[in-house]
Structure formats: structure tokens, C-alpha cells
Structure 1
Amino acid sequence: MAKGKRYGLRTTVAIMVSAVVILVLLVLYIIFRNQIIPQTRHALEDKAITIARTIALMPMISEGLKAGNNKEIQAYTSKITRRNDIMFVVVIDMNSIRYSHADPSFVGYPFAGGGQELALAGHESISEGAGPLGTSLRGFVPVYDGRGHQLGAVIAGLSLDRVERLVRLNEWTIIAILLSGAFLGAGGAFILADRIKKMIFGMEPVDISKLLQERSAMLESIREGIIAVDQEARTTIINAEAQRLLKESGITGSLINRMIADFWPELQLERILASGEGNQDQELELGGISLLISSLPVRVNGEIVGAIITFRDKTELAVLAERLSGISVYADALRAGAHEFMNKLHVIMGMTHMGLYDDLQQYILGTVGNYQKEIGSITKQIKDPVMAGFILGKLSRARETGIELLLTEDSYLPESSDPHVIHELITITGNLLDNALDSLEVSCEHGKKKRIELAFHYKDNHLTCEVSDNGPGIPVALQEQIFVQGFSTKGEHRGIGLYLFSKSVDKLQGQLHVTAADNVGTTFIVHVPYGGKDEYSE
């Protein structure tokens, strides 16, 4: 089945509004046709009766009928006829003899139009009739003397053709007014439709419906909580993830059309709406849940009309970051191991080509022995498998760059009872080792052996991590700035590692100490609470 023609919003609105206007005007026309036009005829009938009634009350009319004097009556009625623009005024006696007429030659003759019976019987009446002057609308009024005796009647006549002309004139006036209203209504409809089209950015209803469905699907599929507010900080949109996080924090019930300050005043959206300056990655606590929040104003044509708040559980972000950090560590370890393995393969290939099989055997035995010794030593001292794998990767990278990385013989790290702690500890250790490796790679004195020592000391649920190197050290003037995000002496887009290191120490409620001076190396010491799975201590 073929689809019907689809009209645009502008055309649809214009047609619908015009149709409503035309329908209203048709109803008005029917009302006017049935009420105002009959009222025009009634007004003319009243005019005829009023003129006849006025003439019937004149003394000269009753005296003239008594005396049989028609001259004065004829002169007076002729004057009345001209001044009131009527067809005729006829005065008759009780025998229907005319005492006046528009044509004087009819005076003295019986009234021929008929319909005077009610008037001669003492009753006023209105009727249509044909006479010598044509068809007319006539008003009949009886005439009495001072004693109440009826002497005759007065007939005032209006041309029926003129009555019909006035009725048609009123009808066309009504039609003209209604047509003007129709044209004005249609013009207003097109202007309104164009205005609505501009207000919705030229989009059609189908496009708006599709956009709304897409927006709803997008809002509900996003893993971040989203809240939109208007310029009065009243909530207008809350997606499913936002409702979930708010519910977990203890905020329940319908939140739409509520002032956001009533249930989340810490956002301070009133300030953002007033200043137009948003907040990025702000950390706030809500009902015991740590959230990472961004609040940005919404502008339309340069004016602030509301704000958008996006937020996510910081714990989820931390887990994701830890996974990425772990992947990065494993990738580094594999890369360093592969590089080291390729170097050993090159040695084996060369010794094979030269036929040095006995030396090759001793080399392989020594390599395997050193590798097993290294792995055995680390796994014996570092009980946490994640940390052990991490340190092995760092050892491979250090050898690759010609730097000696040593794990002290008295080091011991039990497996953590809290996986979150070991991930933070990897961040701490990794950033310290990376910082030491970078420092030794670029600035150690020529010919000086590059050396880094790593130590873990565990006792009574307390862990001390120490990283020291024999690099150029850190000037005393810079030691307070090295933990500031973005500060670095190594160029732009650096200064992140030690900042993350300090944040991890704070998360574990630990303490850190830095011992450094120009050209004497650097030592970082970190003390953190650490719950191990066994009770071994030094």
C-alpha cells in the first residue's frame, strides 16, 4: 500500500490553523445570517410602526378625520414622507377612505392594499402588500380622538425592494468581514507556522521524534550518570545510571522538576549558572560514594539556559585504571623480555655458526641458572604474584638500558589481604622506579655505574618501600614542586608520575620522605599500612 503524501510542518500548521479559522468563520456566518439579517427586517418593521404611531398621535390627524378635512392631513403626511425617507403615509377613516397618499390623485378613494382590518378593529399590525406604488412593508396603527373613539388608521409604508436591498447589503457586509478574517487568519497561520519552524531549528516532527528517541537511547546506554537542569537549577533530565548512583547514595523518589540544591547542594550549580564557568573532574562524596563529577553550563544563542552534570563512581574508574596499569606493566615486561631473549638468541646463533658448542652449552646453562636464580629470589622475597611479575618486568627494562636494578636481600613483601592496596603500591613503586630510570638514562656521569636499589620491609602490618639511585639528585629548591601535577624538568607533557605517586600514598594514608641533593643521588622512602596474609616479619 503506497504511503500518503507527507506534508512539512509549516504546511501542516498553516492548513490546520486555516481550516480552524474558516470553520469558525462559517459558524459565525450562519449565526449572523440567522440572527442579524432578520434583525435588519425587524428594525425596518419597527421604523414603520413608530412613524405610523407618531402620526396617529398628532391632534391634526384626529381633528382632520372628524372634520373630514384631508388637505391639512395630506400636507402634513407629505412632509413626513419626505423627511423620513419612506414610501408613503396613508391616513384612512373607518370606511377605509384615504385622507392622504403619496400620489394626491388617490386621496378620497378607498384604500386598496388590504390588511387594514386589524387596524380598524383597534389593533396595530405589520404586513406586506401590493398597492399602486408597488410592493411594500406596511405598519398599521389606529387613530383615536380625545375621548377614545377610533376615527381611522395610519399606514406607513416602506418599499419592500428597499428592505431587501438593505438585507442584502448587510449580508454582503458580513461576508466581506468574514472573508477579511479568513485572509488574516490564513496569513497569521503561515506566519505562525514559519515562526514555529524557526523555533525548532527547521526540523520536521519526524526528525524531532527520531532525535528524541536516539537521545533517550543514548542517555540510557551511557555508563555515566547524567543530570540536566534548567536556568533555575531545576532538574529536567536524569538518566538510568544517574538514578542508580543516586539511589545507592540514599537519594530516592521522583527527582524531576525538583531543585537540585534540595538533594545535592554540594554541586553549587547556582554559582555555575551565574558565572558560566564549569567544573571538570571534581571529586565529591555523596552518601558515602566517591564520585568524579563534571558540571558545565549549557548556552543557546550565547545565553545560559541550564547546565549538564556528568558523574561516575570513582571506584569503577580506579578499577579500570588499575586494569590498564596492569596491562601496561605486563606489556613492558613482555617487551623487555622479548628484547633480552632476542639478544640471547643472537649470541646462541653466533656461537652455533662458529661451532663453539661447549661454550654454547656453558652459556645456556649459565643463562638458565641466572634466570632461575633471579626468579627464585624474587618469588621468595615478594610473595604477591602481581608485584613479583611487575618487578621482573622492571629488572628486564633496567638491564636493557644498562642500569643495575637490585632488590635488597633483606626485602620481604607478603601477599596483600586487600588487592586494592597492592595496585596502589604498584603505582607507587612503578613511578619511583620509572623516575629513577629516566634520571639515570639522561644525566648520570660518564663511566659511573648506574645503580638503583629497591627495598621492601614489612613488620606489624606496616610496610616501608625504599627506592634509591646514584643519579644527579634533586635540587633542594625543587623538592616541594616535584609532586605538583604538570611540573617537570624534562620538558612539556610530563610531570604526571610523581603526582600520581603522591596521590596513591595519600589514598593508602601513608607518609613519604625524600632525601636528595645535587650530584649525590635520590632516596624516596614510603611508609604505608599493609595487611599481609601471613604473620611473617623481619
Structure 2
Amino acid sequence: MTISRPVRGRSLRSELLLWQLGSLLLVIVALGGGTVLFTQNYVRSQFLDIRKSQAEAVLHGTDLALGLQDAADEQTRDDWMAHWREQGGAALLAGWNERGEMSFDALTLELAHAFIGEGGQPLFGEGEGVLNVEGEPYYWRSEVLFGGQQLAGQAVVAFSLPSRMNLLQAVTQQQFPLILGALAFALLSSWLMWRRLRRTLLDLEPADIAALTVRQRQLLSTVPDGVMLVDAAGMVTLVNEPAAQALGQPDLPGHLKQVWPQLAALPTGEELRRWPLPLAGRVVLVNLTPLREGGFLVALTDREEATRLAEQLTDTRRFIDAMRARTHEYGNRLHIIAGFLQLGRNSEALQVIQDELEAEVGLNQALAAVAEPRVAALLAGKAARAHELRLTLIIEPESEVPLLSPVQADTLVTALGNYIENAFEASAGEVRVGIGLDPYGLSAEVRDDGPGVPAGLNPFAPGQTSKGAGRGQGLAGVAALAQAVGGEVWHERQGPWTVFGLNLPLE
């Protein structure tokens, strides 16, 4: 897995500031452009209506036709035209009498040249329109005028219209305080957001967060066991490669009930250690650690692999425990025999030796059909332990255990060990163990003559026990392990006996 290293760039504060300012400028430009376009269309439409009314008033609402017709000389006509241009507000007012003599008044010569030819003739016939002169738009209208029934001549009137630049300048000047206020608000909100994010992100910059993420992925990639993170809502948000392979490459984030239903059914609010669970046709050991912020961290290990790695050590420990118990018991017997001999009571010494030989032969006969060495070692050790506790442990003579797979053997040994120890604590004097084969697999029962399980108590549920605080996990682990391999556990009261059982299917 190739992981690229983060590159340190701008700080979080500068990133937020640039982002907000850029967003604000885009909004201002978009709104300004939209406002200009709307204002231009609206204002030009309004201005056109106004200019048309003004042109109508100048051309027909005055005695302009009579002035063109009756003016005797050019100066008089020019004064006449200047008067009506000023009165009507036109940027250009030009007229020709019936003899073609021209008079005009214009704001600029460029405007006059746009409507009047070099020979003094009008460049436009009757009509109206919009013409750009030196980059400025003008509405114009040209008509032939009559004084009464007599032709007076032709007149052209032009009025200025607002340009895009003028509109933009007007909008900018009008909205400038608002723009300054928006920029100040963006700067203030950026600073406040930066302070809040800095506290939330533990004063880390984006490059620092990216570096932590890279290191986290590198760390998870080196862990051989599966690791997964579940948030407070029950969503699986992170898995490393071994966990992804075990879970079948789940789509993340995904709810735990879909990713791993058996884990979702556990009480995930408390810590679990080496809890067996089924996953994709095999058994895994789960270590679950609740997180302070909610959710929990899960580490999972293949149980078969863990069993193979610990098998030799586990077997050695059990044999040592068994031999230690038997050595201790033999030592006690030897002291008794030595005492009888010192007292000259040879017959009693011989009787003790005979009892020991008979007990050893009986144990060997009871374990003759137990082919699984770990189970045989466990039962031998428990027999010695029962002798120390002044209890009677009876292994049914017909007990039979074939060679088992590591997981099955571990399940049976775990169940028997917990059942027998609990029976020792509860028994009034006798504990019986029976193991046998049936058409469905292997069945094991441990019975004691104690008072039994209190009413309403489920001894296989986590934390439920009558033995006090800190107990109640052993049988819960047995139940989880049996369920993981397809078996079942049970308990019942049979007359004076309390019976705990295990049904284990065999491969």
C-alpha cells in the first residue's frame, strides 16, 4: 500500500480567509452583474419610453415645423433649434426646411457627424432607433414635418441613453457601503471560525492532520491483527487490511449490523477480552475497548491461529498443573505411609498403598477411551484437585473423546474446566463427569449435588452470577465459544443434581 506524504501549504486561517473572500467576491460579482443587466434592461426600457415621449413632444408638441418653415435666415433657424434642444433636453436637434437649408444644435460634433452628412443632408430617413456614438448609446427619431397643409421640412432628434459603465458605476457607488460591510463580516466570521476550528482540531493545521492520518494508516498497515473502529452511531468507519479481508471488504462507512451482526448483538458498552465470535465460517477472538467519546475499538484475531500458537504452552501449563496436583497428593500419601511404617502399623500402610493403586487403576480405566490428550490431562488434574478438596470426582467409565481439531478441543477443555471448577465450589461432596458420542456429535455433562442455580439467573449471560462482583464471565465465554463453533450449552436440575452440559458437533 503506497501512502503519499502530505505537503505543508497555507495555514488553516489563511485557507479559510481566502475561501471566504473568494466566495464573497464571486457572490458580489454575480449579484453585481445580474443587477447591472437587470438595471440596464429595466432602465433602458424606461428611458426609451421617456425618450420617445420627449421626441414626440419636441417634434409634434411644439411649433418646430412652423419655425423651420418661417425662419428667414440661418442664424434665426440655428437659434430656434438651440432653443428647442435646450427645452426638450435632446443631445441633438437638426432640421432641414423644404429648400434643404439646414440648422442644428448638438452637444458634440461627433454626434452631429453621426446624423448629418458632409453635404449637410440627413443621413437617416423617417424612423427611429438606437445608435452608438463614441461608445455612448443614443435614441434617435427622424420625421418629415408639416406646417398646416404645407411641407415644412425634416427634423432629427437624438437623446442619450445610460451605458453599462454608467450603470455599473452608479450601482457600485450605491452599494459600496454594503460591499464594505460584507467584507468586514467575512473577515470577522473567518477569524471566529478559525478560532473554533483550531480548538476543535487541537490547534493542528491541515498539513498536521494529514500527517497524522498518514501515520495512522502506516501504523494500521503494520498491525497483523484486524482492527476496526465503530462510532457512537454504530457505524464502522475504519478497518485495516486484515480486518477488511476478514469482513469481506465492506463498504465504509457501514452499519455494524450489516458488517458483523454477531458483534452488534454483544453488549458493546463494556470491555471484552478474547471473546470468541463466528465470522465468515470461522471463529475469531475479539478484544473490545469502549471509547470515551462514544463507540469502541475492536481488535480481532483468528482463533485457530491463536490456538496453534498457544497450543504447546497451554498443554504444558495444564500438564504442569495436573502433575503438581498429583505430586502434592502423592506427597501426602507418602507421608501417611511413612508415618504408619514408623509406628509399626504395616498393615495400614499397605492398605493406603492398595487404595492408591486401585484409585490410579480406576482413573486410568476411566480415561482409557479419552484419546484427546488435553482432555485427559485436564481430567487427571481435576481428579487430583478433587482429592485435595476432599471431594469425590467420578468420571463415568463409558466416557469417550476422539481426537479433535484444535478449536473443538479448546472448546471442550474450556467448558469442562469451567463446569468442574464451578461444581467443586457448589458441591456437597460428589461431582460426576460424563463425555460421550451420539449421532449429532459429542456431548459432555458435569453434575454436582449442590443447591443448584438460583431461580431467574442465566449463568451463561455476561455478568450474571451468584458469586459476587467481578465474576460471571467464565460461563459466558464458554457459551460464546460454543456458539462460535456451532455448539450449544445448557443447564438443568435433575432431582438432587445440577447438570451443566455441552453439545459439540464434530467435523
For normalisation by structure 2, the TM-score amounts to 0.53
Distance change >3 Å, CA 369–CA 208, structure 1 → 2: farther
Whole-angstrom CA distance in 1 between matches of 2:7 and 2:480: 65
Q: CA deviation at 1:294?
A: 12
Note if 1:416 corresponds to 2:402: yes
Matched ranges for 1:356-395 at <5 A: 382=367, 384=371, 385-395=373-383
The answer to whether the 8 A contact 1:488-1:495 is kept is: yes
Say yes or no: does 1:123 pair with 2:111.
no
Q: Is the 8 A contact 1:123 1:142 kept in 2?
A: no
The whole-number CA distance in structure 2 between the counterparts of 1:95 and 1:245 is: 102
- Residue 493 of structure 1 and its aligned partner are, at CA, apart by 3.3
1:125-152 superposed Cα distances (whole Å, 9 cap, x missing partner): 9999xxxxxxxx9x99797667999877
What secondary structure is seen at the aligned counterpart in 1 of 2:414? helix
Answer yes or no: is the 8 Å Cα contact 1:120–1:152 preserved in 2.
no
1:145-184 pair list within 5 angstroms? 172-176=169-173, 183=180
Question: Offset of 1:418 from its aligned partner?
Answer: 1.6
Unaligned runs of 5+ in 2: 1-5, 126-130, 339-343, 345-351
SS in 2 for 1:13: helix
Q: 1:172: how far off?
A: 3.9
1:394 Cα deviation (Å)? 3.3
SS of the residue corresponding to residue 378 of structure 2 reads helix
- 1: CA distance between counterparts of 2:142 and 2:23? 49
Q: Which amino acid aligns with 1:438?
A: E
- What is the alpha-carbon distance in structure 2 between the residues aligned to residue 268 and residue 392 of structure 1? 36
SS at match of 1:244: helix
Q: State the partner residue of 1:438.
A: 425
Residue 244 (1) aligns with residue 245 (2):
yes
The answer to whether residue 36 in structure 2 is matched with residue 15 in structure 1 is no
Q: Secondary structure in 1 aligned to 2:468?
A: coil
Match of 1:84 in 2: 88
Q: 1:488 to 1:140 in 2, by over 3 A?
A: closer
Is 1:206 aligned with 2:207?
Answer: yes
Deviations 1:506-532 (A, max 9, x none): 976788775675xxxx6758697898x
Matched position secondary structure for 2:15: helix
Task: Render the CA deviation track for 1:170-220: whole Å, top value 9, x for unaligned.
Answer: 564254368567546645654478659868974343344345446656776
Q: Is the 8 A contact 2:452 2:493 kept in 1?
A: no
Kindly indicate whether the alpha-carbon contact (under 8 Å) linking 1:481 and 1:487 is maintained by their aligned counterparts in 2.
Answer: yes
* CA-CA distance at 1:52 after TM superposition: 8.0
Q: Which amino acid aligns with 1:173?
A: A
Query: Is 12-21 or 177-186 further displaced after alignment?
Result: 177-186
State the Cα distance separating 1:416 from its structure 2 match.
2.0
2:462 is equivalent to residue 474 of structure 1: no
Deviation, structure 1 residue 391: 3.7
CA distance in 2, matches of 1:278, 1:175: 62
Contact 2:94 2:155 in 1 (8 A): yes
Change in 2 beyond 3 A, CA 1:75/1:215: same
> 2-side partners of 1:525 and 1:165: how far apart?
99
Deviation at 1:12, TM superposition (A): 1.4
Provide closer, same or farther for how the CA distance between residues 188 and 416 of structure 1 changes in structure 2, counting only shifts above 3 A. farther
- Within a 5 Å distance, the mapping from 1:207-246 to structure 2 comes to 207-210=208-211, 212-213=213-214, 221=223, 223=225, 240-241=241-242, 243-245=244-246
Per-residue CA deviation, residues 221-278 of structure 1 (Å, 9 max, x unaligned), is 58458597998x998767655653454xxxx9x85689999x7897899xx9xxxx98
Relative to structure 1, is the Cα distance of residues 61 and 299 closer, same or farther in structure 2, using a 3 angstrom cutoff?
farther
The superposition leaves residues 265-295 of structure 1 with CA deviations (integer Å, 9 ceiling, x where unpaired) of 97899xx9xxxx9899999988766789999
| Superposition map of 1:484-523 within 5 A | 485=461, 488-495=465-472
Change (3 A) 1:372 1:177: farther
Match of residue 349 from structure 2: none
How big is each residue's C-alpha offset from its partner over 1:51-89, in whole Å with a ceiling of 9 and x where there is no partner?
789656678444445444589979976764554356897
Unaligned runs of 5+ in 1: 103-112, 129-136, 352-358, 360-366, 445-450, 532-538
Task: Tell me by how many angstroms 1:15 deviates.
Answer: 1.6
Q: CA deviation at 1:423?
A: 3.6
Secondary structure of 2:469 counterpart = coil
| Aligned-partner residue type, residue 21 of structure 2 | S
CA 1:201–1:289: 2 relative to 1, 3 Å? farther
Query: What is the TM-score normalised by the length of structure 1?
Result: 0.51
Asked if 2 retains the 8 angstrom alpha-carbon contact of 1:278 and 1:297, the reply is: yes
How far 1:429 moved relative to its partner? 3.6
CA contact (8 A) 2:450 2:498 kept: no
Cα distance in 2 for partners of 1:527, 1:298 equals 35
2:471 alignment partner, SS class: coil
> Superposition RMSD on alpha carbons, in Å?
7.4
Q: Measure how far apart 1:122 and its partner are.
A: 3.9
Contact 1:92–1:154 under 8 Å retained in 2 = yes
Quick check: 184-193 or 202-211, which moved more?
Answer: 184-193
1-structure distance, mates of 2:105, 2:503: 130
Distance 1:431 1:148 in 2: 129
- Amino acid in the other structure paired with 2:245: R
Mapped partners of 2:216, 2:331: distance in 1: 53
| Distance in structure 1 (CA, Å) of the matches to 2:499 and 2:47 | 114
Q: Where does residue 427 of structure 1 map in the other structure? A: 414
The residue type equivalent to 2:378 in the other structure is F
Say if 1:279 and 1:294, in contact at 8 Å, map to a contact too: no
